[in-house]
Amino acid sequence: MPARGEYRGQDFETVSFSSKPGAGGSRPTSARPGTGGASSAQRAQGSANSMTSGTGLSARKLEDETEELKHATVSTDLKQAMIKARNAKGFTQKQLAQQLNMQPQVINEYESGKAIPNNAIIAKIERALGAKLPRAKK
């Protein structure tokens, strides 16, 4: 009878199948391809560093940044022009959204200045209202 610490019939070596001769076999887990024998903690730290170094800003600078990293929002000229044109046509926000096959929330966001400007959407609104609206800068 085998001792408890012995495993007979169990093979814990990694076997890989490949069309290349000699490519199969077993490798120790620390020598996986692409890792260079690095531990998982070293790989995780390396990937975190590469994410911040790729942008040129450290995590601290990103936290402290307020103005440069904000999304562009709708200008006040566009907001006011949309409201005037919509009121001239006698549409509510909901009616305009239904005519454009959009959610009413989209029209609300554009008129409140919270939306990220999209010139394609602005062009659709222009056609529906029959008025020229100022476009967003690229």
Spatial CA neighbour of 85 closest among 137, 132, 121? 132
- Which pLDDT score is estimated for 70? 72
User: What span, in angstroms and rounded, lies between the C-alpha atoms of 33 and 51?
Assistant: 22
112: in domain: yes
Yes or no: say if 115 and 73 are a contact pair by the CB < 8 Å rule.
yes
121: in domain: yes
Q: Identify whether residues 62 and 106 lie together within a single domain.
A: no
Q: Which domain holds residue 101?
A: 76-129
10: in domain: no
The low-confidence residues of the chain, meaning pLDDT below 50, are 29-31, 35, 40-53
- Predicted TM-score (pTM) above 0.85: no
> Which residue type occupies 20?
K
Domain CATH number, residue 122: 1.10.260
The total domain count for the chain is 2
Q: Identify whether residues 59 and 82 lie together within a single domain.
A: no
- Which pLDDT score is estimated for 24? 52
Question: For residue 117, what are its two tokens?
Answer: 């400007």
